[in-house]
């Protein structure tokens, strides 16, 4: 499939994704919850996937569910299994922003979230720049 999307809008999605990714990486005081940083990792992955949808001129659904976005992308391109793993970040989209989050996020959870978000962003960038 050839590129047909609005290049400016695609780039805007990636700028927002990169901003969230950088926020997720920031070394902050201990008073900042890892849950907050994982939320930004989730947002980076979500916006990266939405950038690819725009690139392929696909209507972007109003969802935070990364699995849904991946399923939609699979209608247009081959999605590597390593990107499928990114779907686990969905749990940080809403519930991690409130005190009712079921389990606290530890450093390992945070590092995995950051790794997955980074992987997703780099993959999106490679698709769009190809």
95-105 pLDDT, tens digit per residue, is 767 777 667 88
pLDDT at 101: 60
Shortest CA distance to 50 belongs to which of 97, 116, 120? 120
CA distance 123 to 121: 5
CA distance 51 to 30: 32
Q: Hey, what are 106's tokens?
A: 């530890």
What is the chain's Cα-based Rg?
A: 14
Give 98's contacts (C-beta < 8 A, 6+ positions apart).
none
Whether the predicted pLDDT of 2 surpasses 60: no
Architecture of domain 7-129: Up-down Bundle (1.20)
pLDDT band at residue 130 under the 50/70/90 scheme: confident
CA distance 8 to 94: 28
């Amino acid at each position: 499939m050839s590129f047909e999307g609005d290049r400016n809008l695609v780039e805007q999605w990636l700028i927002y994704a990169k901003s969230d990714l950088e926020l997720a990486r920031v070394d902050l005081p201990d008073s900042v919850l890892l849950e907050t940083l994982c939320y930004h990792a989730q947002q980076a992955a979500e916006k990266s996937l939405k950038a690819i949808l725009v690139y392929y001129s696909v209507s972007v659904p109003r969802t935070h569910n990364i699995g849904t976005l991946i399923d939609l992308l699979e209608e247009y391109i081959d999605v590597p299994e390593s990107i499928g793993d990114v779907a686990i970040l969905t749990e940080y989209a809403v519930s991690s922003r409130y005190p009712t989050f079921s389990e606290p996020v530890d450093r390992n959870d945070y590092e995995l979230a950051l790794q997955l978000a980074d992987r997703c962003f780099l993959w999106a960038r490679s698709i769009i720049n190809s």
